[in-house]
Amino acid sequence: MGIASVLVIEDEENIASFVSMYLKKEGYIIYTASTGGEGMMLAAEKAPSVVILDLMLPDMDGFEVCRRLRRDSDVPIIMLTARDASTDKVVGLELGADDYITKPFDPRELVARVKSVLRRVQAHSQAPAGPVTVGDVSLDTERREVTMSGRPVKLTAKEFDLLNYLMLNKGLALSRQQLLERVWGYDFLGDTRTVDVHVNQLRKKLGDGELIETIWGVGYKLAG
């Protein structure tokens, strides 16, 4: 695996500067953009390992940038928000962001999250390949493809990983904390609502509300 690169899309120059400085100290290649449009062009040109995306940008908001990036890429996205509103976090996660961090933040925490995301990406890339099928759902880990009754289903990277873990543990009741640890990583700093958001997205995209059962007081279980 080569040197990882990070694309920072942030219009506040002082924030972009100190974030870049801390990441460079860790040996990452850094690209910076001050607008959403510039960020999307750099993402297409440089194919970064991780994108750090500010929610408030001068030309378009981070939600729109996230939506457009997700059309063509599974690159991990860490969203920056100046507000601690849970709705912002939920919307970001629903659009495909992998993590979020609220301003003001400790740059060391952001570096830790970047490292965590990259470790998870590397671990999944080294996972044993082979299709897994439960009912009408088939998941191919090598191709990173999912089909439902033969039709392709487009999932974000995190939705794919969550579905894969649920399918590998079919019939077992898994707590939200277990899912956070196994899918998002032991050092993930988010809360358990992250799991609920991704499960709801999976249910919508698979068009089967009964495939993933809610186990009240515990978490979720894949039926089948």
Identify whether residues 160 and 189 lie together within a single domain. Answer: yes
Question: Domain boundary at 125, 160, 190, which?
Answer: 125
Average per-residue pLDDT for the chain? 85
Residue-wise pLDDT for 85-141, tens only, equals 667 777 888 888 888 888 888 888 888 888 888 877 766 655 555 688 888 899 988
User: What is the reported pTM?
Assistant: 0.66
Is residue 212 within 8 Å of residue 220, measured between CB atoms? yes
- Domain membership of residue 62 as a residue range: 5-125
Identify whether residues 32 and 101 lie together within a single domain. Answer: yes
Q: What CATH code is carried by the domain that includes residue 208?
A: 1.10.10.10
- For the chain, the domain total comes to 2
Identify whether residues 113 and 148 lie together within a single domain. Answer: no
Residue type, 36: G
Residue-wise pLDDT for 30-59, tens only, equals 999 999 999 999 999 999 999 999 999 999
Largest CA distance in the chain: 52
